[in-house]
Amino acid sequence: MRTIGLMSGTSLDGVDGVLVDFSQDALSVLAFASCDIPTPLRAELLALNSSADNELHRAALAANALVGLYGTVVQQLLKASGVAPTSIAAIGVHGQTVRHRPGEFDGVGYTLQLNNPALLAERSGIAVVADFRSRDVAAGGQGAPLVPAFHSLFLNSERQRMAVLNIGGISNITLLAPQQAQQSVQGFDCGPGNALLDYWCQKHTGAAFDNGGEWGRMGTVNADLLAHWLKDPFFHQQAPKSTGRDLFNPSWLEASLAHFPTVSPADVQASLTALTAATCADALNQALPGCHRLLVCGGGAFNSLLMEMLQSRLAGCTVASTQSAGLPPLQVEACAFAWLAVQALQGRAGNLPAVTGARGPRVLGAIYPA
């Protein structure tokens, strides 16, 4: 079944898209394309992450603008692969998270991804599946992470004791033990991935991200600052758990730095890199001791300093990019949403209740016919 997956995550860097052919339990990526989010739209999406003036109207317009980018990526995928739109079963599109508050408000929270799936279906002539997270939240779950089922099916062909770590704006981990049934796969959000790293780097160097971790490498990790951050209750919560910019945002960072006024910007960057590494490595060491292999995907896999810090905290575990398992780091999440679209079309569950905490397996997403 040929399907497109589109992912635009909390880093707000861009839209990643894949055109995938699923057959039995194998996948083959026929095309990959990506498109940067233009700076004004990025600024608007960031602003819409907190309460803002006239936000309903602005959110609707931002969603339409996003669909413009989604359409561009879809056209690039069709052109690169030579596949006709009529032979694509669906586009699975995540949308842009602007609020993630599951389990709040008397136990029924919400999660909100800006999107206009009707417009994407209208323009592309392809069926669209969207809003994957809400049904899981309605069933009492976190609505996240939704990728562990995909990780377990497509990144653990040898059925090893291993883990997959996605380092996007937020980081999330999937824990896989040998011969494990899908129902007992574990997974949860670990904390900030690149979101705070990007914010700090942009503020002090003007660059959108710390390429290769080179700026952070010039600094030194401040142990007291790191220890202060690690006290945040989120890191000590038991799974199921998920988070987002609602918690790990510039205010969170700036409030903590007020207690450490003399730490240099480069040292803060080094310490933030260590925070991502420490929270991910601690999660793995606690939840899957003796894990021999960690595959890393998401843009964080390109931050060599972060990869080295992860490796140094995981004795006996080989840390490598998912490229080593045949799937490039920026394609994994997009492939996962293509797979989730297939699940929805076939009326099969996409969530793993053991991961999200939902009351049971649920078919995720709403289908907008071609």
Ligand X SMILES: Nc1ncnc2c1ncn2[C@@H]1O[C@H](COP(=O)(O)OP(=O)(O)OP(=O)(O)O)[C@@H](O)[C@H]1O
In order of 18, 218, 225, 250, 272, the CA distances from 267 in angstroms are 37, 8, 10, 17, 9
Confirm or reject binding of residue 202 to ligand X (CB under 6 A): no
Q: 300 contacts which partner out of ligand X, Mg ion, none, CB within 5 to 8 A by kind?
A: ligand X
Confirm or reject binding of residue 194 to ligand X (CB under 6 A): yes
Distance CA 152, CA 308 (A): 25
Confirm or reject binding of residue 116 to ligand X (CB under 6 A): no
Q: 229 contacts which partner out of Mg ion, ligand X, none, CB within 5 to 8 A by kind?
A: none
How far apart are CB 211 and ligand X at their closest, in Å? Answer: 5
**Residue ranges in 5-34 that form contacts with Mg ion under rule CB under 5 A:** 9, 11, 13
In order of 60, 140, 326, 328, the CA distances from 52 in angstroms are 13, 28, 43, 37
Confirm or reject binding of residue 131 to Mg ion (CB under 5 A): no
CB 302 within 8 A of CB 267: no
**Residue ranges in 211-250 that form contacts with ligand X under rule CB under 6 A:** 211-213
Confirm or reject binding of residue 17 to ligand X (CB under 6 A): no
Among residues 189, 210, 232, 267, which is the contact residue for ligand X, using CB under 6 A? 210
CB 176 within 8 A of CB 160: yes
Confirm or reject binding of residue 188 to ligand X (CB under 6 A): no
The dihedral of CA 139, 67, 208, 319: what is its sign? Answer: positive
Other CB atoms within a 10 A radius of the CB of residue 5 amount to 30
Confirm or reject binding of residue 7 to ligand X (CB under 6 A): yes
CB 293 within 8 A of CB 320: yes
Please, which residue, 209 or 252, has the CB nearer to ligand X? 209
Confirm or reject binding of residue 299 to ligand X (CB under 6 A): yes
Distance CA 102, CA 241 (A): 9
CB 171 within 8 A of CB 242: no
Confirm or reject binding of residue 333 to ligand X (CB under 6 A): yes
Taking each helix axis from N to C end, the angle separating 223-230 and 250-257, rounded to the nearest 10 degrees, works out to 130
Confirm or reject binding of residue 49 to ligand X (CB under 6 A): no
Confirm or reject binding of residue 302 to ligand X (CB under 6 A): yes
Please, which residue, 141 or 169, has the CB nearer to Mg ion? 169
Confirm or reject binding of residue 353 to ligand X (CB under 6 A): no
Where along the sequence are the contacts to Mg ion (CB under 5 A)?
Answer: 9, 11, 13
Where along the sequence are the contacts to ligand X (CB under 6 A)?
Answer: 7, 9-11, 13, 16, 166, 168-169, 194, 197-198, 209-213, 298-300, 302-303, 333
